[in-house]
Amino acid sequence: MRLRHYHRFPRIRSHIAGTCYTPKQLAAFYGLPTVAGVGAGKKVAVVELGGGFDQKVLDAYFKSLGYPSVLPVIFKSVDGAANQPNDSAGDYVEVMLDLCVIGGMAPGCQMLCYVAPNTDQGFLDAVQQAVDDKIDAISISWGGTEDSWSPTALSALNKAFQAAAAAGITVTVASGDNGSSDSEAGNHVDFPASSPYVCSCGGTSLPALSPSSEVVWNDGTQGGATGGGVSTNFSLPSFQAKAGVPGGKMRGVPDAAGCADPNTGWLIAADASGNMVVGGTSAVAPMWAAIAAYLMQCTGKSAGEISALLYSLPAGCMRDVTSGNNGTYVAKAGWDACTGQGVPVVAKLLTALQAPAPAPTPPAPTPPAPTPVTTTRTILVTGDSLTVKVDGKAV
């Protein structure tokens, strides 16, 4: 049975007229180099709950971007799932979006596609298999409202993300495309985006390749808006202690953002019939996975809990998005529940991560122990007189 609480997040615009960008264009906009070697030596996985990919279509697409040598995607079947690039549910669009974004922004990496059944166990098994395979970054564009998960399933998957972070694996997750309500009454956030062990990825609208044009994604005419808000399951992580999360007690979502509005969307290869424009926070999770691969490639470090790193970086590593809302929550200076810490300035992120750690402060010198003083007392008794000498002197 297909579980409804696992929804995919791509927003499809059937035509390619109007404003849209290739992954290569958006890589340049956010500061990634647009050369073939970006991400080389790193393994980036996508976790999918259905669908599949067409390698020939991907090859042609990457060649059109000027990257003819992108490595073939490695297919990983989880619990018997098959690669179905033309599945009736349309999940192949999600898979192709994820792979086009990663391969178009980090064309030197090795991509792996873990396809699992759309069940609690399938989702968990796919994540655990990717962790066991020692992947460098994992992108997930699936999820559901926190209250749609059983406590058992939510806890098991969160433990898998904790294991990934402990192993130095970055996990990036789409925050959802239905605003602060997440398609329910009141305010809700999506899981696994709300896990404290993942980098939760929100969305912006980018009418032009200009920083001043970027605002929170909230398309009132089509009902799409970036997910974000406050978790009801996870306590405030230490890295958000000074972020100003509403209430100050629970995990805030998202951590970071990127272009997601389908009206200013990503031009990808959907199938052999041609390209299409797709948006949603589904595009932002693989974008951040590609960025993580590049940062790891250049620094030689594992990113691990990249979400925590984003809160301790010098000013300028993230560009704040301060205009717009996702329903209840309004963008502001600093962290907010629309775009988190903002969008990346990759060159400055890299500089900050390459900076040597400050030299440890040497311990204060221990003063020498005082030399003990030896005192000699001599007492002389002569008749009726008594003489006391200390160190040879009469006192």
Would you tell me how many other CB atoms lie within 10 Å of the CB of residue 134? 10
DSSP 142-175: EEEEGGGS-HHHHHHHHHHHHHHHHTT-EEEEE-
Q: Could you tell me which CATH number the domain at 7-354 has?
A: 3.40.50.200
Q: How far apart are CA 344 and CA 337, in angstroms?
A: 16
Count of residues in the chain: 395
Q: How far apart are CA 99 and CA 73, in angstroms?
A: 8
Output the pLDDT for position 302: 80
Cross-strand partners of 110 = 43
Output the pLDDT for position 274: 83
Q: What is the dihedral of CA 75, 76, 77, 81, to 10 degrees?
A: -50
Q: How far apart are CA 354 and CA 341, in angstroms?
A: 20
Output the pLDDT for position 362: 62
282 is catalytic: yes
DSSP 308-374: HHTTSSPTTSEE---S-BSSS-B--SS-BTTTBT-EE-HHHHHHHHHSPPPPPPPPPPPPPPPPPPP
- pTM, rounded to two decimals: 0.88
For residue 357, pLDDT over 90 is answered with no
98 is catalytic: yes
Q: Are strands 170-174 and 199-205 parallel, antiparallel or unpaired?
A: parallel
Which residues contact residue 13 at a Cβ distance below 8 angstroms, ignoring those fewer than 6 apart?
Answer: 20, 262, 263, 265, 276, 277, 278, 279
Residue 89 banded pLDDT, cuts 50, 70, 90: confident
User: Do 118 and 161 meet the contact criterion of CB atoms below 8 Å apart?
Assistant: no
**Among residues of the chain, what percentage have pLDDT more than 90?**
76
Crossing angle for the helix pair 23-30 and 284-299, to the nearest 10 degrees: 60
Output the pLDDT for position 386: 47
Torsion sign, CA atoms 261, 263, 268, 274: positive
Given the residues 98, 177, 219, 255, the one annotated as active site:
98
For residue 5, pLDDT over 50 is answered with no
Q: For 210-223, what is the mean pLDDT?
A: 88
3-state helix, strand, coil in the chain (%, to 5): 25, 25, 45
User: Do 218 and 180 meet the contact criterion of CB atoms below 8 Å apart?
Assistant: no
Output the pLDDT for position 90: 80
Q: How far apart are CA 221 and CA 87, in angstroms?
A: 29
Look over the chain and give the mean of its residue pLDDT values, rounded to a whole number: 89
Q: Give the 3-state secondary structure of residue 211.
A: helix
Q: For 168-180, what is the mean pLDDT?
A: 95
Given the residues 148, 205, 282, 307, the one annotated as active site:
282
Of 87 and 202, the structure prediction assigns the larger pLDDT to 202
Q: Which helix (H) or strand (E) holds 138?
A: strand 137-140
DSSP 225-269: E---EEEEEEEPPGGGTTTT-TTSSEEEE-SEEEE--GGGEEEEE
User: Do 3 and 119 meet the contact criterion of CB atoms below 8 Å apart?
Assistant: yes
Output the pLDDT for position 2: 39
For residue 390, pLDDT over 80 is answered with no
Burial of 80 (0-12, 13-18, 19+ CB in 10 A): exposed
- For the chain, state the CA radius of gyration: 28
Output the pLDDT for position 305: 72
Q: For 45-72, what is the mean pLDDT?
A: 96
Q: Which helix (H) or strand (E) holds 381?
A: strand 377-382
Per residue in 94-132, pLDDT (tens digit) is: 999 999 999 999 999 999 999 999 999 999 999 999 999
Output the pLDDT for position 286: 98
Give the Å distances, CA to CA, from 101 to 20, 27, 124. 13, 9, 24
Q: How far apart are CA 342 and CA 159, in angstroms?
A: 27
For residue 384, pLDDT over 60 is answered with no
Given the residues 48, 94, 214, 261, the one annotated as active site:
94
305 is catalytic: no
Per residue in 301-323, pLDDT (tens digit) is: 887 678 888 999 999 999 999 99
For residue 182, pLDDT over 80 is answered with yes
Output the pLDDT for position 3: 40
Cross-strand partners of 225 = 178, 218
Output the pLDDT for position 133: 98
Domain spans in the chain, listed from the N-terminal domain onward: 7-354
Q: Which helix (H) or strand (E) holds 55?
A: helix 55-64
Output the pLDDT for position 40: 98
